[in-house]
Chains A and B, each alone.
Chain A
Amino acid sequence: MIHLEGITKSYTTGAQSLQVLKGVDMRVDAGELVAIMGSSGSGKSTLLNILGLLDAYDGGSYHLDGRDMAGLSERRAAEMRREMLGFVFQSFNLINFKSAAENVSLPLYYQKVPRKERTRRAHALLDRVGLLDWAGHLPSQMSGGQKQRVAIARALAANPRVILADEPTGALDSTTSEDVMALLKELNAEGMTMVVVTHENEIAKACGRTIRLRDGLVETGMDVGA
């Protein structure tokens, strides 16, 4: 599903150039649940940006679902994100002036799905994450766990091939963390491919496989199936 070969990325600030990714090779197959671990500065977020088509890479190749992602225009990248990817964030990032159902239907708005159909699908997804009764509530009226479940429903809305989760439990207590991970595993069991960026061993253990980043490279020998 995801195939990276020799991905490099550097940032230039003033006269200094910082090589963040030095040639990342990784592979995620369809239906896998993979954790990406690494200390801060290891290039995790940069990798996630590139996987999420939110940033361009300098060298190497990136194939998503068999398609080469080289040299996408901004518009085309947005289109690919819309069709292929779902995002889940640490701090949920729900739009706070929109209700749960409106948040979930937002990706469908960008897919130009008609309004009635959007609402219908948003309600079905909220039902799937067990929050149908909360459809009309604003994020500020919900608990952290509920918010993250709404965010997961939103990530599912566009019917993506891959869900990218960035520290999905980072802002949650341990009990709710388990609930959220259970939900992600359930979705994975239904066939959804997932990449979870985390620094928590507990979470990584719950995933099928762990990829460790250190100084812009994948640590070899650690890429082992659980």
Chain B
Amino acid sequence: MLERDSWLEVAHNVLAHPLRTALTGVSVALGIFILVVMQGLGFGLQHGVEQQFADDAVNSIWVEGGRTQMPYRGSQSNRPVKLTNADMPGLEAQADTVPSSSRRIRMWGAEVVWANPRGENQTGSFGLRGVDPAHIELERSTLLSGRFINARDVAESRKVAVVGPNIVEELFQTSEPVGTFVRINGILFQVVGTFEDPGSRWENRVVYVPFTTAQGLFRSDDSVDQVIYSTGDMTTDATVVQSARMLSWLKDVKAIHPEDARGVRVDNNNEEYAMYASIFEGIRLFIWGIGLMTLLAGAVGVANILAIGVKERTKEIGVRKALGATNGSIVGLVVMESTVLMLISGCVGLMFSVGLLSVVAPMANHEYFQNPQVDHRIALFALGVLVLVGLASGLGPALRAVAIRPVEALRDE
């Protein structure tokens, strides 16, 4: 009975002051709203950038030939530099450890022809890559059906192919590709598997064949376009040292000027990822900073309004005391009012921000901005902070107000 009574008293007091209630409510709701929306956008940004790195394995070093820019040891500048089969053992020797690696032959615009069961030719132009078995992990591709290139395919230079989803869609449509034969630049290959790559659109327009097959059929020499080395669980610092060692070894072997940046490229994904990771960290800190500042501004506003509210109620508090209220019951009433008010308006802010994010989320599909979401822990944390600040800011003035001697508070000046 008494419980219900004191809640009715709280409800009455809150509803009897619409302006005060609205002001407090709006600042709390806005604080929560801005914090949650900011955090949501921050997550969207983070997801977007992480998506960019979903393409390739993060712990990898990519090596490829280029074109010199400086004359060196009797060679002119503008000389193409090619990696060859002969370079592979020496290059690998520069690595501390090589858990896996893959060589690569790259070709643009390979013509792929599939004769469908009605005898009609389905033709398309796609990318072709000759690779080693470990390539599927290094490129972070997912096998959808059949199998990937295996060691025997490479050893025996088999004419087998693994095709991407765009090829399936454009040539095979609803037919099952695995087990059928296609002509690639006029040469017959058996399709042994299909894959997809979440990283980028381009990766899904590729046909994989064994490295040796591609080198033998489509290259006139023993050149290797690119080599990818996994660095396993090496530290970023160790991989930086390793990639520098690979670079200087290659420059020496290929007679490239030590300061020539274009002769050969050794890209360390570890390093790049570490850099992006520190940018994410910065963005996250920045968003937290803004969020906390907003929350603080909201909290100060709430504290202010509550302080004014209590001051305005000095007389009312005096009356209640004269009528037999204990100090405790008055402080309890004021604190209960502010807590109820803040919880309700905080929840309103939460509802609006969650609503906004869920409306915006499906539309947000930019390359660097994906899937903004609400972190419930952050929302609850913000709500908790506001309630605590509300309690603290209501408590101080309430304690001061009950300390005033009522007869003085109630006297007109």
- Chain A residues packing against B (C-beta within 8 Å): 45, 48-49, 52, 54-55, 74-75, 78-79, 81-83, 85, 87, 89-91, 93-95, 97-98, 102, 106-107, 109-112, 114-115, 154, 158, 166, 170-171
Q: CB distance A74 to B326 under 8 Å?
A: yes
Q: CB distance A97 to B324 under 8 Å?
A: no
Majority SS at the chain A contact face = mixed
Q: Residues of B contacting A115 with CB < 8 Å? A: 1, 5, 8
Q: CB distance B324 to A110 under 8 Å?
A: yes
**Total number of A-B contacts with CB less than 8 angstroms?**
87
Given contacts A54-B405, A93-B315, A98-B16, contact A87 B322 (CB under 8 A): yes
Please measure, in the bound complex, the distance between the C-alpha atom of A96 and the C-alpha atom of B149, giving whole angstroms: 85
Q: CB distance A158 to B326 under 8 Å?
A: no
Please measure, in the bound complex, the distance between the C-alpha atom of A87 and the C-alpha atom of B321, giving whole angstroms: 11
Please measure, in the bound complex, the distance between the C-alpha atom of A83 and the C-alpha atom of B72, giving whole angstroms: 106
Majority SS at the chain B contact face = helix
How far apart are A85's CB and chain B's nearest CB, in angstroms? Answer: 8
- Chain B residues packing against A (C-beta within 8 Å): 1-2, 5, 8-9, 12-13, 16-17, 315-316, 318-329, 405-408, 410-412
Task: From A48, A78, A91, give the contact of B412 (CB < 8 A).
Answer: A91
Given contacts A49-B407, A93-B315, contact A106 B412 (CB under 8 A): no
5 shortest interchain CB distances as A-B pairs = A82-B324, A97-B16, A78-B326, A110-B324, A107-B323
Nearest B residue to A166, CB-CB = B407
Q: CB distance B322 to A110 under 8 Å?
A: no
Please measure, in the bound complex, the distance between the C-alpha atom of A78 and the C-alpha atom of B325, giving whole angstroms: 6
Please measure, in the bound complex, the distance between the C-alpha atom of A95 and the C-alpha atom of B5, giving whole angstroms: 18
How far apart are B13's CB and chain A's nearest CB, in angstroms? Answer: 7
Nearest A residue to B4, CB-CB = A115
Nearest A residue to B15, CB-CB = A97
Given contacts A74-B326, A75-B328, A110-B329, contact A90 B320 (CB under 8 A): no
Given contacts A54-B406, A55-B405, A114-B1, contact A166 B321 (CB under 8 A): no
Q: CB distance A110 to B323 under 8 Å?
A: yes
Given contacts A48-B407, A109-B5, contact A87 B13 (CB under 8 A): no
Q: Residues of A contacting B405 with CB < 8 Å? A: 49, 54-55
| 29 A-B residue pairs with CB within 8 Å | A45-B411, A48-B407, A49-B406, A52-B406, A54-B406, A54-B407, A74-B327, A75-B326, A78-B327, A85-B322, A87-B322, A90-B411, A91-B412, A93-B315, A93-B318, A93-B410, A95-B316, A97-B12, A107-B323, A107-B324, A109-B9, A110-B320, A110-B325, A111-B324, A112-B2, A115-B5, A154-B323, A158-B323, A166-B410
